[in-house]
Amino acid sequence: MSKAKSFIPAIVMIVTLIGISIYTNVFNTFKDIQYKFTGLKFSMAQSLETGLQDLFFTINLVLTNNHATVITIDAIDFDVLYNNVKIATVSQDTGINILPKQSSISVLNIEVITDNLPNSIATALQQISTGNTKFQLAFNGTITTQLGKFPVKQTLNIGS
């Protein structure tokens, strides 16, 4: 019985070391994924079809895998904010595999329903098509991989 008790600290130490190793690998994987929102484009034709009641945009999400193995992106979920007010939510299941040392570009659709917005935000968004305004949109959410979720947050300056 005393021999069994002497193995318990060794087993606890081995399990702890394995746990730390797994945590370190997952954390390093998240550090090895880089993201960037680029190329916000206003869809005038699609927006005019609704009489500008809904505004349609696309944005590119560039994901770069600097990790040594393939990373699978299962879902992309984020809010679009203007002056800290949520104006849209994007949720997309993707199933994208990003090869080691490669990038992937996902074109994401954003629909903003202007009836739900304060007038100042709706007016600013409608002016994108004419280029008469400058403002910022913030993107805040998560990307889900086979290893778990990691946060994404970026602000884009819009306008000329």
pLDDT for 46 equals 81
| CA 96 remoteness from chain centre | 13
CATH match of 2-159 with 2.60.40.1470 = yes
Domain boundaries, the chain: 2-159
State mean pLDDT over 2-6. Answer: 62
pLDDT in tens, 54-66: 778 888 889 898 8
Cβ count within 10 A of residue 47: 22
Percentage above 70 pLDDT, the chain: 71
pLDDT at residue 21, as a whole number: 61
Is residue 91 predicted with pLDDT exceeding 90?
A: no
Element containing residue 112 per DSSP (H, E): strand 102-113
pLDDT tens digits for range 8-46: 766 777 777 776 665 555 555 556 788 888 888 878 788
Q: Check residue 119 and give its pLDDT.
A: 65
**Residue at token pair 């947050």:** 153
Strand order in the sheet with 102-113: 33-42, 54-65, 102-113
For 107-142, what is each residue's pLDDT tens digit? Answer: 888 887 666 565 655 666 666 655 556 677 889 999
Contacts 24+ apart (CB under 8 A), 144-151: 144/73, 144/74, 144/75, 144/76, 144/77, 145/29, 145/33, 145/71, 145/72, 145/73, 145/74, 146/71, 146/72, 146/74, 147/26, 147/29, 147/30, 147/71, 148/26, 148/30, 150/30, 150/33
